[in-house]
Amino acid sequence: MRTFIRGLGEVMITVGLILLLFVGYQLFWTNFLAARAANAQVSDIKSNWKSDPGAPELTQQPVPGQGFALMTIPRLGDDVKSAPVIQGVDLDVLAEGIGHYIGTAMPGQVGNFAVAAHRATHGEPFRFIDTLQVGDHVYVETDSYWYTYRLARQRIVPPTDTWVIKPQPFDTDPLPSNRLITLTTCNPRWASYERWIWWGELVAKQDKSKGTPTMTVNG
């Protein structure tokens, strides 16, 4: 009996150590790898911009996995400060930055520029999405322009509610006329049975030849 108890204790310790290592991997190592991958994406994006100066406004869908823009949300601090926006929303893409839903509008275009990002582990750019407020600004930088969006409404929905990324989520008119942005992520933070959604609308567009816009949290 004593041998059995000692053996059971050793098994429990081993299982505990494995669980501890797994938690450490999820909390720290995936974030380290994501930060390294995001930095590489940012470097590639800026390199592409330099190789094609004065490019026209971005309207064509990039190939999956290609980074094409940088996003800054002042309310979220360093979590979303010149974060790469990459074509696609599969797990490999979201491990490197913010993913763009294929087929949704490109930055500044009529329709819905819809993006997704992790809220926990793998870089977790949207971990503090619950702190965003109506009126907060989202800045998107492309090769030639700065776009400023102002957040207007939020909602928590089931994952099956794909209408949230439609060109006009709240309008039955089949022809979109607004220039929207949609931020999506998992909810609660450590689960994925809901989606936290923020919508905003384009309020400013600035040619990069005029410099960087003054970035404010809210306005």
Q: Which are the catalytic amino acids?
A: 118, 186, 195
Structure tokens at 205: 């567009």
CA-to-CA distance for 183 and 200, rounded, in angstroms?
9
For residue 14, give the 3-state DSSP assignment: helix
65/22 Cα distance (integer angstroms): 27
Measured distance CA(184)–CA(156) in Å, rounded: 10
- Measured CA to CA, the distance from residue 147 to residue 115 in angstroms comes to 15
Q: Are strands 137-141 and 194-207 parallel, antiparallel or unpaired?
A: unpaired
CA triple 32-36-41, angle to 5 deg: 145
